Amino acid sequence: MDKVVASAARAVADVGDGSSLAVGGFGLSGVPSVLIEAVHAQGTGNLSVVSNNCGAMESGLAVLLAAGRIARVTGSYIGANKEFARQYLAGEIEVEMIPQGTLAERLRAGGAGIPAFYTPAGVGTQVADGGLPWRYDGAGGVAKASPPKEVREFDGVEYVLERAIRTDFALVRAARGDRHGNLVFNKSARNFNPLAATAGKVTIAEVEELVEAGGIEPDQVHLPGVFVQRVVALTPRQAADKRIEKRTVSA
């Protein structure tokens, strides 16, 4: 099945107001920026986003955040995104912060059809006991806090129950992809992309290089095409547009 869509705009056309999105990337690496820009261009809002972080350096998800299009974020890192921090503390956005490994496993479990799992991460903290601020009231108080989670003991060790994550859509970026949706990620850009892709009911991939079916050796495939519904081939200029958060040089 040929899954290539003519444009990013057409690929995200059915991402409507109130949709939930799992978005790949880590910092500035492997971010599906072209698809995010297309969602922004069509005016979609009130989005619930699941991603490690919410954009950086006014790129990626920061574009949607700055436009007030995101209602809720599930992630593990605010980082140097001052607008993200401002909206969170001002009570303009709901934020569920969870341990990074737990986020990765919740996405993976969603893609694997596992409804929930137990993990030791967060036991004895507000992650398990509840009380983490999900939304502030804008005056320093907490308007909505996380609920307590089930804690169970196995072989003398306590574990907290975490629910899997499934989203309406997933947006990912790959270095190479074929017309059947098989994807290959480049080095660190492999980060959250495969996990986000499996968690989406409809997964849309932007690829830097599109090849014909059979152009990727089976052993090289990082994400099978069964998890991908749409593929968008980037232009050479789009594929080369990669930002550096902190540039370092050696003498």
What is the number of other CB atoms lying within 10 angstroms of the CB of residue 188? 10
Helices (H), the chain: 8-11, 33-41, 61-66, 82-89, 100-112, 126-129, 193-199, 236-240
- Average pLDDT over every residue of 172-187: 97
**pLDDT at residue 251, as a whole number:** 67
Instruction: For CATH 3.40.1080.10, list the domain ranges present in the chain.
Output: 8-115+164-240
Residue 239 DSSP SS3: helix
DSSP 87-121: HHHTTSSEEEE--HHHHHHHHHHHHHT--EEEEST
Fold (topology level) of 8-115+164-240: Glutaconate Coenzyme A-transferase (3.40.1080)
Contact 43, 53 (CB under 8 A): no
pLDDT in tens, 191-239: 999 999 999 999 999 999 999 999 999 999 999 999 999 999 998 888 8
What is the number of other CB atoms lying within 10 angstroms of the CB of residue 75? 22
Confidence of residue 160 (pLDDT cuts 50, 70, 90): very high
- Average pLDDT over every residue of 16-33: 94
Element (H, E) at 18: none
Question: pLDDT > 70: what percent of the chain?
Answer: 98
Q: φ, ψ for residue 233 (rounded to 5)?
A: -85, 125
pLDDT in tens, 99-137: 999 999 999 999 999 999 999 999 999 999 999 999 999
